Amino acid sequence: MADQFASGGLGLNAAEVTRRRAVQMIEMGEFDTAIALATDALKTRPRDAQMLWVMGEALTGLGRLTEAAIKLRQALGAHPEHDNALCSLAEIHRMQGDPDKALELITRARTFSTGARPYTLGASILADMGQYEQAAALLEPKVKADNPDTRLVVAYADLCIALKQPEVGIDLLERSLERGELHTGVRSGALMILGRLLDRVGRYDDAFDAYRRANDMRTTNEEQRADVLFEQWTKDAIAEAPRTRVKTDRSVLVVGMPRSGTTLTESVIAAHPGAAGVGESQLLMNMRRATSAAELTQASVDTMAKRYTDMLAREGSKTATRVVDKMPDNYQNLGLAACVLPQTRVVWCQRDPRDVCLSCYFQNFGARHAYTCDLELTAQRYLLHTQLMEHWIESTDIPVHVLRYEELVSDLENQVRALLEFLGLPFDERCLTPHKATGKVSTASRDQVRQPIYATSKARWKRYEKHIAPMVKILKDGGAL
């Protein structure tokens, strides 16, 4: 027992086992389980910096950013040089639209950390701000060192598209991938970036092979069903549920499949002087998961509405006429929205399903969208998302505006005018050039949103047509094509 220092009945070894299990739960997207493990451990070791960090990570995964920041600051109070806690707190400031504070924390972490995360995260935040050269300068000395950390190489290669140096990135990644000892997650990430670079130079077959190899490392058997949603949120159940008395007319929900144009749509709206955005909030999802239509009471819908409108004011704007929440997955939550946000407006982003599914496959969304590692599962999810949206349109009174990506990029002014009219906003020329108004963007669409609106992503699927026949068959059989 010499290697176990007991404290309140929980030895260090037991604490480490619990921490590792909690981290594993976070990686799997099981945030509630991770919180339960951390909460139990903190009862006997309330100043355990590692466990406080784990709690902060799990709360961040659930979108409970204020609570997460408190736990991370507690971790830093117990251990001021906890580099992971500093980086995680920086991530929160990044998500809350404060990149300067995030960079300050990252710089502090680099003073005593030799790990990759303070560098890769710092470069990513600089890239969010459009400062690609500064991001590259941060990484370059590390990348040029002997035997560089592959995570740093991947981060640098990711910048090579914006730097218009795709061949440099391809060379770096191909040499790194020749090393056989890479962690599966690192190798998968490197292959994803390699696929993107190969696509950029027109090597489409090689690009698809890289994406396939990356996705084969993160397979899932996740079944694409929503039985509980359909059972708990029927048309009759929604009609019988109470509506909040809280004013919710500032709310705008931009929904759809990932990669369907939600980020572009938010940027168009947020460029309007009467609008603002909160990014992708998890709040509506978290509230829906904790209840059902039959369980709603007048008190509960009022409480949830107050929480949501407070979030819009805190993370978006206290004065804007409209505040956009562009969490794509809110297409699952419109039954609750009908009760908690009855005055909200919904913009349903649509795009050619072949492009949507292929673009999802070309991104690593992690545990949150595990289905995207398989083209056929992604096609099934596309059909399910359509079924849910049709159900909400039939079952609720929420106004829904359909915005097709292809029409937006080819007929910009008319589509923007129609969108603003739906939102009750006067036309403003700035909405036609949202790239000029973009401050920071931290989604997968970062590089695209920083450019003028373009149509080059239309019918992208044709470049990969010979690789996607099973996916296309599912979409055709399901009526999406």
pLDDT in tens, 49-75: 999 999 999 999 887 888 999 999 999
Q: Judge if 333 and 424 occupy the same domain.
A: yes
Q: Judge if 390 and 263 occupy the same domain.
A: yes
Tokens 């969304």 — which residue?
365
Is the pLDDT score of 443 beyond 50?
no
Q: 125 in a domain, yes or no? A: no
**3-34 b/e (C-beta count within 10 Å ≥ 16 → b):** eeeeeeebeeeebeebbeebbebbeeebbebb
User: Containing H/E element for 255?
Assistant: strand 251-255
Is the pLDDT score of 28 beyond 80?
no
What does the pLDDT read at residue 2? 33
Of 190, 217, 244, the residue that ends a domain is 217
Q: Which domain holds residue 445?
A: 227-477
Q: 408 in a domain, yes or no? A: yes
pLDDT tens for each residue of 115-156: 899 999 999 999 989 899 999 999 999 998 888 899 999 999
CATH number of 102's domain:
1.25.40.10
Of 165, 198, 217, the residue that ends a domain is 217
Dig out the tokens for 276 from the structure. 């603002």
Q: Judge if 308 and 375 occupy the same domain.
A: yes
What does the pLDDT read at residue 451? 57
Q: Judge if 145 and 273 occupy the same domain.
A: no
CATH number of 463's domain:
3.40.50.300
% the chain with pLDDT above 90: 73
What does the pLDDT read at residue 5? 28
Q: 260 in a domain, yes or no? A: yes
Q: 121 in a domain, yes or no? A: no
Q: Judge if 161 and 24 occupy the same domain.
A: no
pLDDT tens for each residue of 213-270: 999 988 676 777 889 999 999 999 999 999 999 999 999 999 999 999 999 999 999 9
Q: Which of the two residues, 177 and 346, has the higher pLDDT score?
A: 346
**CA-closest candidate to residue 54, choices 80, 28, 23:** 23
Mean pLDDT of 16-33: 85
Q: 339 in a domain, yes or no? A: yes
pLDDT tens for each residue of 279-336: 888 899 989 999 999 999 999 999 999 999 999 998 889 999 999 999 999 999 999 9
Task: Tell me if 238 sits within 8 A of 397, measured CB to CB.
Answer: no
Q: Judge if 210 and 303 occupy the same domain.
A: no
Q: Judge if 38 and 186 occupy the same domain.
A: no
Q: Judge if 162 and 106 occupy the same domain.
A: no
What does the pLDDT read at residue 119? 96
Q: Judge if 20 and 90 occupy the same domain.
A: yes
Mean pLDDT of 339-364: 97
pTM (2 d.p.)? 0.86
% the chain with pLDDT above 70: 92
Mean pLDDT of 101-128: 93
Beta bridge partners of 323: 251, 276
Q: Judge if 376 and 315 occupy the same domain.
A: yes
Q: Which of the two residues, 146 and 93, has the higher pLDDT score?
A: 93
Tokens 């909030």 — which residue?
281
Half-sphere exposure of 358 (CA within 13 A, CB side): 26
Of 198, 217, 236, the residue that ends a domain is 217
pLDDT band at 114 (very low <50, low <70, confident <90, very high): confident
Q: What is the mean pLDDT of the chain?
A: 90
* Number of domains observed in the structure of the chain: 3
What does the pLDDT read at residue 205? 97
Q: What angle do CA 332, 333, 335 make, to 5 degrees?
A: 115
Half-sphere exposure of 179 (CA within 13 A, CB side): 17
Q: Judge if 402 and 351 occupy the same domain.
A: yes
Q: How far apart are CA 234 and CA 238, in angstroms?
A: 6
